[in-house]
């Protein structure tokens, strides 16, 4: 195939016919034919449609790969390999139909079966192979890779049970395996021909010629499963290649014959455990070991795949670093440089200098958090047991790096100790790890092996080089950059919000769908009263849809004319869902004190998962439920206030909630949220933001005007200053009667049926250290919330602000983000 055949228009009618044929075949295979007039169930239609789409995407995949291989062989491209432990993909059918322009075809086909398209789409389980923003970013990037035609592979693991499914029992989070593959996965293409050996344990053998070779004790095999992501404005696709682990050896036949069936398969179960869940609980040693194995497994299979492709296309390892970018999405794949060195030195016989030059050219790294406790380190002891050869290589990388630093900063022994890839475990490492244990610092390895390191929003990138990576920034002044995150407008506007999309099409044309910058044409419409009314009508329709879902799932009726105030994201202390709940309590108390007041009715929606071992986050979820129950059962409140927690937050739930939001809560303590991407999705969908001066909130405010966001709270410098001066949360509470009433009510057990103990730990945290400064920001938060009420009463003024927000969101497309990665991080130009 030539690239000319990739033109979408040529293929459009063919695609429709091919799709209809494939759909008939799939249905037929399940016993549904026109003759028998069997009515297909919605889940069956979903699987049949997905299989039919996959067939068309398979052709696009083959064409894309063929085109890239031709260019690869001519050394005309640089392929990007995006390594990530998380890809939070969500559903795929709606996106595939939109990309293939088959929505209408399918709508008709389903109508013939007595089913509606939205109902069928709802039957698809979410591919929830991620935790939060980092994983969703990776998914948005795959979409933009396809859209921009970037030769690329996303590499991840095929977790059989995702992270976990969140249920709520008696107001408490309960976790269950998310069995998303139970009915099979019609999207994935297994590639049994792509199999790579991956080992663990064993020892390193030194040969007569001095070369070293790792002899692993445990032998696994990685098999590839591909998931194809289509572009919307061309026939290009991108690939998510997910690895599945299996034991290399079949069952132990002798043991089996002795009747020892468990023993016969024990090694197979151990291998299979790698496929089970994202983030095995790290509170046990075996959980931690499993996690390190997963990381090593992802990295090894992906790099072997990359090298095999490069050799197939070019016949030599020369130029591998110039032809291939290897990107580390946070430090989870940070073993990549060590594994690449091992493969190049031990398996392919390159010299250290050759291999290191290739590694440095290829590797780049994105940091996603400044929280010291989130910076990954692994005990040297675990490396010795699982990855002995990698440890040798890390020591050698470290020796050369420290020699270099010692030459450039003579006599600065403290610097050497701080920047070493090995934490010698002699002092406080800030991570609360026990003294005495030597650990490998994965961020240090990532920085030293990369030619580029980036943060994910302007403030974050600045703080990164001023705080956690200050020493490295001194050593490598040109290595650090910023690339502000973005989100794909295909999923987060076009698919999630068809009504708003249609309104935009009618008012500014359809160009925004490809160039999100064109949203700036909405700006003059801010003064257009009719446009404002149309925006309100779209919002109301989306709120009705969400209200129906809340009614269905929770049996709670909400007032659709109330202000929908939404905070959906992982539950974490730094994100301050608790501050939100404190505001709800104070509003509740105020309504009860003055039931005849002129209140702006509010529906506060919270959703998010707490990590299974994170006690405080789980307590915040419970408090949310307790407060929600008390408010709902108090007749004095009426429909002026509701608090709603929607369980099992994920991509498709976000797609329903976000278009219905009036207000977006982005209230992290300044300096803690690296970027946020939820903030972007909300503004794009016409919610106004109440937010702190943190992460990408800042760039959003700058893009659409600071006066068009409700900002509040201490800024980073003020947070630091307050902490330095000695912060006394208890005093803050004493001096603010409103806040005091809120804290007292929780402490008394007003929301826990008199059980004063239930939230003692939570209250003690707030009155004790209050690390995230909720008490300090409370008063200003309430002031900003009052401003929200005032503006909301003026429908026209509110709508005008909404228009200005949307108009300013053009730069927050992940297409722009990827263009910047290409320019600053992945291009040959960036290698200098
Ligand atoms: C966008 C998104 C996130 C990230 O949200 P933040 O508010 O930026 O933390 C997390 N989870 C899902 C499912 C998302 O869609």
Q: Which residue shows structure tokens 């098999």?
A: 223
pTM for the full predicted model: 0.96
Domains detected in the chain: 71-90+126-484+818-831 (3.40.50.2000), 489-803 (3.40.50.2000)
User: Which letter does DSSP use for residue 640 in this model?
Assistant: S
Q: Which of 575, 625, 765, 801 is catalytic?
A: 575
The C-alpha atoms of residue 42 and residue 50 are separated, in whole angstroms, by 12
Mutating to test ligand 1, I would choose from 135, 568, 661, 681 the residue with most ligand atoms within 8 A of its C-beta, which is: 568
**Closest to 98 in 3D by CA, of 496, 660, 543:** 496
DSSP string, 294-360: HHHHHHHHHHHHHHHHHHHHHSSSTTHHHHEEEEEESSTTTTHHHHHHHIIIIIT---HHHHHHHHH
Hey, whose CA ends up nearest to atom 9 of ligand 1?
569
The C-alpha atoms of residue 597 and residue 591 are separated, in whole angstroms, by 7
- Terminal-to-terminal C-alpha distance of the chain: 35
Q: 327: which strand partners? A: 82, 364
pLDDT for position 25: 87
pLDDT for position 427: 60
Hey, whose CA ends up nearest to atom 8 of ligand 1?
676
**Closest to 46 in 3D by CA, of 126, 158, 101, 163:** 126
Q: 422: which strand partners? A: 440
Hey, whose CA ends up nearest to atom 10 of ligand 1?
132
**Closest to 482 in 3D by CA, of 694, 675, 680, 706:** 675
Helix (H, G, I), strand (E, B) or coil at 820: helix
Does 9 score more than 90 pLDDT? no
Inter-residue contact 53 to 131 (CB < 8 Å): no
Does 223 score more than 90 pLDDT? yes
Percentage of the chain with pLDDT > 70? 97
205: part of which helix (H) or strand (E)?
strand 203-206
How many A from CA of 181 to the centre of ligand 1? 23
The answer, yes or no, to whether any atom of ligand 1 lies below 6 A from the CB of 650, is yes
pLDDT for position 35: 63
Measured torsion, CA atoms of residues 441, 204, 328, 191, in degrees rounded to the nearest 10: -150
Q: Establish whether 523 is a catalytic residue.
A: no
- What separation in angstroms does the CA of 427 have from each of 83, 379, 430, 440, 493? 32, 15, 9, 15, 50
Per DSSP, helices labelled H in 512-605 are 529-554, 577-593
Handedness of CA 678, 127, 337, 280 (dihedral sign): positive
pLDDT for position 766: 98
**Closest to 645 in 3D by CA, of 678, 620, 677:** 620
Q: Which of 91, 123, 291, 368 is catalytic?
A: 368
pLDDT for position 4: 39
Q: What is the pLDDT of residues 398-417, one digit of tens each?
A: 999 999 999 999 999 999 99
Q: What is the pLDDT of residues 647-700, one digit of tens each?
A: 999 999 999 999 999 999 999 999 999 999 999 999 999 999 999 999 999 999
The answer, yes or no, to whether any atom of ligand 1 lies below 6 A from the CB of 808, is no
The answer, yes or no, to whether any atom of ligand 1 lies below 6 A from the CB of 674, is no
List phi, psi (to 5°) of 153: -135, 135
For the chain, the residue count is 832
**Closest to 309 in 3D by CA, of 156, 145, 192, 151:** 151
Helix (H, G, I), strand (E, B) or coil at 235: coil
pLDDT for position 6: 44
Q: Establish whether 569 is a catalytic residue.
A: yes
Q: Exposure string (b/e) for 448-465, b if CB count within 10 Å is 16 or more?
A: bbbbbbbbbbbbbbebbb
The C-alpha atoms of residue 564 and residue 279 are separated, in whole angstroms, by 33
Instruction: Give mean pLDDT, residues 773-790.
Output: 98
Q: Establish whether 331 is a catalytic residue.
A: no
pLDDT for position 5: 41
Considering only 171-185, 319-333, 423-437, 714-728, which range has the smallest mean pLDDT? 423-437
How many A from CA of 569 to the centre of ligand 1? 5
Q: Predicted confidence band at 2 (pLDDT cuts at 50, 70, 90)?
A: very low
Which residues fall within 8 angstroms of residue 782, CB to CB, at 6 or more apart?
583, 586, 738
pLDDT for position 10: 46
Q: Which of 78, 441, 570, 625 is catalytic?
A: 570
Q: What is the pLDDT of residues 84-108, one digit of tens each?
A: 999 999 999 999 999 999 999 889 8
Instruction: Give mean pLDDT, residues 805-822.
Output: 98
How many A from CA of 643 to the centre of ligand 1? 20
- The chain-wide mean pLDDT, for the chain, equals 95
Inter-residue contact 161 to 177 (CB < 8 Å): yes
Hey, whose CA ends up nearest to atom 5 of ligand 1?
678
Inter-residue contact 704 to 804 (CB < 8 Å): yes
pLDDT for position 464: 97
pLDDT for position 38: 60
Q: Which residue shows structure tokens 């509170």?
A: 283
The answer, yes or no, to whether any atom of ligand 1 lies below 6 A from the CB of 654, is yes
Q: What is the pLDDT of residues 506-547, one digit of tens each?
A: 999 999 999 999 999 999 999 999 999 999 999 999 999 999
User: Which letter does DSSP use for residue 823 in this model?
Assistant: I
pLDDT for position 11: 53
Angle at 483 between CA 480 and CA 489, to 5 degrees: 165
The C-alpha atoms of residue 54 and residue 93 are separated, in whole angstroms, by 9
How many A from CA of 331 to the centre of ligand 1? 19
**Closest to 381 in 3D by CA, of 283, 289, 294:** 289
Edge-to-edge, what's the strand order for the sheet holding 641-645? 641-645, 602-607, 563-568, 663-666, 688-691, 710-711
Instruction: Give mean pLDDT, residues 117-146.
Output: 96
The answer, yes or no, to whether any atom of ligand 1 lies below 6 A from the CB of 90, is no
User: Rounded to a whole number, what is the largest CA-CA distance in the chain?
Assistant: 90
Q: Predicted confidence band at 210 (pLDDT cuts at 50, 70, 90)?
A: confident
The answer, yes or no, to whether any atom of ligand 1 lies below 6 A from the CB of 136, is yes
Pairing of strands 189-200, 203-206: unpaired
Angle at 518 between CA 812 and CA 809, to 5 degrees: 25
Considering only 37-41, 336-340, 413-417, 663-667, which range has the smallest mean pLDDT? 37-41
pLDDT for position 434: 52
Q: Establish whether 681 is a catalytic residue.
A: yes
Does 3 score more than 70 pLDDT? no
Residue 128 CA: which ligand 1 atom is closest?
Answer: 13
The answer, yes or no, to whether any atom of ligand 1 lies below 6 A from the CB of 98, is no
**Closest to 346 in 3D by CA, of 383, 303, 297, 302:** 303
């Amino acid at each position: 195939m030539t690239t000319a055949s990739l033109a979408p228009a040529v293929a459009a009618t063919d695609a429709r016919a091919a799709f209809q044929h494939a759909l008939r075949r799939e249905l037929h295979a399940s016993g549904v034919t026109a003759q028998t007039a069997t009515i297909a169930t919605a889940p069956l239609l979903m699987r049949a449609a997905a299989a039919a789409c996959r067939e068309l995407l398979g052709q696009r995949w083959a064409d894309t790969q063929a085109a890239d291989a031709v260019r690869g062989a001519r050394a005309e491209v640089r392929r990007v390999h995006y390594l990530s432990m998380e890809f939070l993909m969500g559903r795929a059918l709606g996106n595939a139909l939109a990309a293939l322009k088959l929505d209408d075809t399918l709508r008709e086909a389903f109508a013939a079966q007595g089913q509606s398209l939205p109902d069928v789409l709802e039957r698809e389980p979410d591919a929830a192979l991620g935790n939060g923003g980092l994983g969703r970013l990776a998914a948005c990037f795959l979409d933009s890779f396809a859209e921009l035609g970037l030769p690329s592979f996303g590499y991840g693991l095929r977790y059989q049970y995702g992270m976990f499914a969140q249920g709520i029992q008696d107001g408490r989070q309960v976790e269950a395996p998310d069995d998303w593959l139970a009915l099979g996965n019609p999207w994935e293409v297994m590639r049994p021909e792509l199999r790579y050996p991956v080992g663990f344990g064993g020892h390193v053998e030194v040969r007569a010629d001095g070369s070293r070779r790792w002899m692993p004790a445990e032998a696994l095999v990685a098999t590839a499963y591909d998931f194809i992501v289509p572009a919307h404005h061309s026939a290009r696709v991108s690939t998510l290649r997910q690895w599945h682990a299996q034991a290399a050896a079949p069952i132990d036949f002798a043991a089996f014959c002795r009747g020892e069936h468990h023993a016969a398969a024990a090694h197979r179960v151990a291998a299979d455990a790698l496929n089970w869940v994202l983030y095995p609980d790290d509170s046990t040693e075996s959980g931690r070991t499993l996690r390190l194995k997963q990381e090593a497994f992802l990295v090894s299979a992906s790099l072997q795949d990359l090298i095999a492709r490069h050799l197939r296309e070019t016949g030599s390892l020369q130029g591998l670093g110039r032809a291939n970018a290897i990107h580390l999405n946070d430090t989870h794949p940070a073993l990549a440089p060590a594994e690449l060195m091992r493969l190049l030195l031990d398996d392919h016989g390159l010299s250290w200098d050759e291999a290191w030059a290739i590694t440095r050219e290829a590797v780049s790294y994105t940091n996603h958090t400044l929280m010291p406790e989130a910076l990954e380190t692994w005990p040297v002891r675990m490396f010795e047991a699982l990855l002995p050869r990698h440890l040798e290589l890390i020591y050698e990388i470290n020796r050369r790096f420290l020699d270099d630093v010692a030459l450039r900063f003579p006599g600065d022994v403290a610097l050497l100790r701080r920047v070493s890839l090995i934490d010698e475990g002699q002092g406080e490492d800030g991570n609360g790890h026990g003294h005495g244990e030597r650990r490998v610092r994965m961020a240090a390895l990532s920085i030293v092996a990369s030619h580029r390191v980036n943060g994910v929003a302007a403030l974050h990138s600045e703080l990164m080089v001023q705080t956690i990576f200050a020493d490295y920034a001194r050593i490598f002044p040109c290595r650090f950059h910023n690339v502000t995150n973005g989100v794909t407008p295909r999923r987060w506007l076009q698919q999630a919000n068809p009504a708003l999309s249609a309104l935009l099409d009618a008012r500014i044309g359809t160009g925004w769908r490809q160039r999100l910058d064109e949203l700036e044409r909405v700006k003059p419409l801010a003064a257009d009263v009719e446009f404002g009314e149309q925006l309100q009508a779209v919002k109301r329709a989306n709120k009705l849809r969400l209200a129906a879902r809340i009614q269905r799932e929770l049996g709670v009726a909400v007032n659709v004319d109330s202000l929908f105030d939404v905070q959906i994201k992982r539950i974490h202390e730094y994100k301050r869902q608790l501050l939100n709940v404190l505001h709800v309590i104070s509003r509740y108390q105020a309504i009860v004190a003055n039931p005849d007041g002129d209140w702006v009715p509010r529906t506060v929606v919270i959703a998010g998962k707490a990590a299974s071992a994170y006690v405080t986050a789980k307590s915040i979820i419970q408090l949310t439920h307790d407060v929600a129950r008390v408010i709902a059962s108090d007749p004095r409140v009426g429909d002026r206030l509701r608090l709603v927690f929607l369980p099992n937050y994920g991509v498709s739930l976000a797609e329903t909630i976000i278009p219905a939001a009036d207000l977006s809560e982005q209230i992290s303590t300044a300096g803690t949220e690296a970027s946020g991407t939820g903030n972007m999705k909300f503004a794009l969908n016409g919610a106004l933001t109440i937010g702190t001066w943190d992460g990408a909130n800042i760039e959003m405010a700058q893009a659409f005007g600071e006066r068009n966001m409700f900002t509040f709270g201490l800024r980073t410098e003020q947070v630091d200053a307050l902490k330095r001066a000695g912060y006394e949360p208890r005093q803050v509470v004493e001096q603010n009667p409103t806040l005091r009433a809120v804290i007292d009510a929780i402490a008394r057990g007003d929301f826990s049926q008199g059980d004063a103990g239930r939230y003692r730990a939570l209250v003690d945290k707030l009155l004790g250290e209050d690390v995230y400064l909720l008490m300090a920001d409370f008063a200003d938060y309430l002031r900003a919330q009052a401003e929200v009420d005032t503006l909301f009463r003026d429908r026209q003024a509110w709508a005008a602000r909404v228009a200005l927000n949307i108009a300013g969101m053009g730069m927050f497309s992940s297409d722009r983000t990827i263009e910047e990665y290409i320019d600053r991080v992945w291009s040959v130009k960036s290698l200098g």
